[in-house]
Structure 1
Amino acid sequence: MSENLTEEQQVEELKKWWKENGRSIIFGGIVGIALIGGWRGWQGYQDSQAEQGAALYDKFTTHLATQQDDAARADRNALVDDFTGTVYVDFANLRMAMSETDAGNIDAAILRLQDVVTDGSDKGLMQLASLRLARLYLGQDKLAEARQALAGVSDTAFEGESLAIEGQIALKEGNHEAARIALEAARERGAADSEMIGYLLQQL
């Protein structure tokens, strides 16, 4: 504001400026307060959701541990309905797949693993599910499906296990040289079932 204006002129200029800009300042302040309040409310909601998800997942694992399979399946479905996109659902699907596998329900286990691969929220868990899916397909002699599942595994932490399955696929296909190369690489990278790998290599 110019220093040459009289005091009355300065007052008039201030009134004019406030008339033009005051509303937006007040509105902006209200929006800012609302945003801060909304953010805090959202954080509180997320914390509450996390607690509810954890409680339901604990209930699910308890039902699994006590072999209440129908109740566990209902808990898993509730997690999918209410907490989709969270690791609670990923872990529930992985645990459910293990339970179904132990019970001999391989097709049901495959469905749960596919849920993680398709809709998982964590890249590492998605790759773990792909690895387990490849094993189940291998056990069913679905070699193309097993190889396709392995294509979803890229983390070096799973490299040894992935190579072990790749070697077994090649062995079932009759490609002994490819099987030997993959199994030897799996053993070098510390694949878990070293005895099984050693046995297979002896057969080649």
Structure 2
Amino acid sequence: MAYDHAEQEQLAGLKSWWEQYGNLVTWLLIIALGAFAAWKGWTYYQNKQTAQAAQLYEELQSAVQGNDKEKVQRVTGDMQSRFSGTAYAQMSGLAAAKSAFDAGEFQTAKTQLQWVIDKAKTDEYKAIAKVRLAGILLDEKAYDEALKVLAGKFPSQFAGLVDDRKGDILVAQNKLEEARVAYQSAMEKMDPRSSGRQLIQIKLDAIGGAPAAKAA
């Protein structure tokens, strides 16, 4: 089919534009398609990682229920080396720490808790690990180290629990006035409906009740 003059001008203009910008457009399309492919690939990888980690976590739970402490540690090590970026690795570290603690293997428990503190992606898991680690250090009479673990900021929902643990450590150090302040702070930060407040009140009463009021 023959083109009329207007169509020929349009084709000539398009050809000229393509000669000037066509290479740039092609590269932009390649970059866009490459980015989309990379995103799809990463999503697939993440989903696959999560599914595999979930299966391994089920194996860990079975080992915990069967009280197979060697398998618990072995599976946890596998989880942490292969799926460290998943929540399952953080939960596995906490489970392995409890398993080791129950078995009297305190160094292993501390190692697992420290892994969670160092590697966890969420502050909540880190907070749980810190409180539990401080408890082990309290049992070992490593009071200053325990308080150091509890230093710094924590998610608000853990503030009362942290102060409660600080109070326990301060009592062990015979720093009763400071312990009263810590327990009182824990009481104030906890939900009034929390059963934990009753236990804190018992501990507070045992060392003489509320802290002395400051002079105006």
Normalised-by-shorter TM-score class:
0.7 to 0.9
Which amino acid in structure 2 is aligned with residue 201 of structure 1?
Answer: D
Distance 2:62 2:152 in 1: 31
Q: CA offsets, 1:45-69, max 9 Å, x none?
A: 2111110111111111111111122
Partner of 2:213: none
Partner of 2:166: 166
Distance 2:52 2:131 in 1: 30
- Report the alpha carbon displacement of residue 156 of structure 1 after superposing the two structures with TM: 2.2
Distance 1:183 1:195 in 2: 10
Q: Say whether the 8 Å CA contact 1:60–1:75 is kept in structure 2.
A: yes
TM-score if structure 2 supplies the norm length? 0.81
Q: Say whether the 8 Å CA contact 1:97–1:112 is kept in structure 2.
A: yes
Tell me if 1:179 matches 2:179: yes
Which amino acid in structure 2 is aligned with residue 58 of structure 1?
Answer: E
- Report the alpha carbon displacement of residue 36 of structure 1 after superposing the two structures with TM: 2.3
Q: Say whether the 8 Å CA contact 2:176–2:207 is kept in structure 1.
A: no
Which amino acid in structure 2 is aligned with residue 47 of structure 1?
Answer: N
Partner of 1:141: 141
Report the more deviating stretch, 110-119 or 31-40. 31-40
- Report the alpha carbon displacement of residue 151 of structure 1 after superposing the two structures with TM: 1.1
Distance 1:26 1:42, change over 3 A: same
Which amino acid in structure 1 is aligned with residue 77 of structure 2?
Answer: N
Which amino acid in structure 2 is aligned with residue 156 of structure 1?
Answer: S
Partner of 1:194: 198
Q: Secondary structure at the match of 2:50?
A: helix
- Report the alpha carbon displacement of residue 88 of structure 1 after superposing the two structures with TM: 1.0
Provide the aligned length of Structure 1 versus Structure 2: 200
- Report the alpha carbon displacement of residue 201 of structure 1 after superposing the two structures with TM: 2.9
Distance 1:137 1:129 in 2: 12
In the alignment, structure 1 segments of 5+ residues that lack a partner are none
- Report the alpha carbon displacement of residue 89 of structure 1 after superposing the two structures with TM: 0.9
Distance 1:171 1:13, change over 3 A: same
Q: Say whether the 8 Å CA contact 1:131–1:153 is kept in structure 2.
A: no
1:113-128 equivalent positions in 2, closer than 5 A: 113-128=113-128
Distance 1:178 1:79 in 2: 41
1:29-108 equivalent positions in 2, closer than 5 A: 29-108=29-108
Q: Say whether the 8 Å CA contact 2:64–2:72 is kept in structure 1.
A: yes
TM-score if structure 1 supplies the norm length? 0.86
